[in-house]
């Protein structure tokens, strides 16, 4: 089996895995990183959203071969030490999570959106496709706007 070396949450890792193995399973089963959640496995729910070189991706459909030599960030690597990312702070301030299952993916999608540095519009927020089965969309929208103000 081939080996793949990449950076995860600031740490270089090398894994041995089939080329077409979904990154989600490498993160969860091989590396023990459980923030990205399995929801659908077909890039619909976005519960697994993480960043690849700063862009939002769905690891459930990203083969591990595509991350070789690149940087992956999961919810575990979003904070800067003990300093929470503005999106994480806004999520806490707005009491967003209900069950919390989708929240790592939600937060990572918003962090990628805000990283562009462009002013945030309601249309930008509407394009976020992450599913929240508990229906906390009103609090999510409020937290996104708060995170934009904190950024």
**Per the CATH hierarchy, to which homologous superfamily does domain 3-77 belong?**
Beta-grasp domain (3.10.20.30)
Q: Where are the domains of the chain?
A: 3-77, 86-150
The rounded distance, in Å, linking the Cα atoms of 147 and 151 is: 6
Task: Find out whether 141 and 125 touch, Cβ atoms under 8 Å.
Answer: yes
Q: Same CATH fold, 86-150 and 3-77? A: no
Fold classification of 86-150 (topology level): DNA polymerase; domain 1 (1.10.150)
The rounded distance, in Å, linking the Cα atoms of 58 and 24 is: 8
Q: Which two tokens stand for residue 135?
A: 């229906």
Q: Which two tokens stand for residue 133?
A: 């089965």
pLDDT of residue 118: 87
CA 119 and chain centroid, separation: 21
Return the exposure string of 112-125: e unless at least 16 CB atoms fall within 10 Å of the residue's CB, then b.
Answer: bbbeeeeebeeebb
Q: In what order do the strands lie in the sheet with 11-16?
A: 11-16, 3-8, 71-73, 50-52, 55-57
The rounded distance, in Å, linking the Cα atoms of 49 and 138 is: 20
For 36-64, write each residue's pLDDT tens digit: 999 999 999 999 999 999 999 999 999 99
For 84-99, write each residue's pLDDT tens digit: 999 999 999 999 988 9
Q: How confident is the model at residue 116 (pLDDT cuts 50, 70, 90)?
A: confident
pLDDT of residue 117: 87
């Amino acid at each position: 089996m081939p080996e793949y070396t990449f950076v995860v949450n600031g740490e270089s890792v090398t894994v041995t895995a089939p080329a077409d193995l979904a990154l989600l399973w490498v993160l969860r089963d091989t590396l023990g990183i459980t923030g990205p959640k399995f929801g659908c496995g077909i890039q619909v729910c976005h519960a697994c959203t993480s960043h690849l070189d700063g862009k939002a991706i769905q690891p459930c459909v990203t083969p591990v071969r595509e991350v070789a030599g690149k940087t992956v960030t999961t919810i575990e690597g979003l904070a800067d030490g003990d300093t929470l990312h503005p999106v994480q702070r806004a999520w806490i301030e707005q009491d967003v999570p209900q069950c919390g299952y989708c929240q790592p993916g939600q937060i990572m999608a918003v962090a990628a959106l805000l990283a562009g540095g462009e002013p945030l519009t309601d249309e930008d927020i509407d394009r976020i496709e992450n599913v929240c089965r508990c229906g906390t969309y009103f609090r999510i929208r409020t937290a996104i706007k708060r995170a934009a103000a904190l950024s």
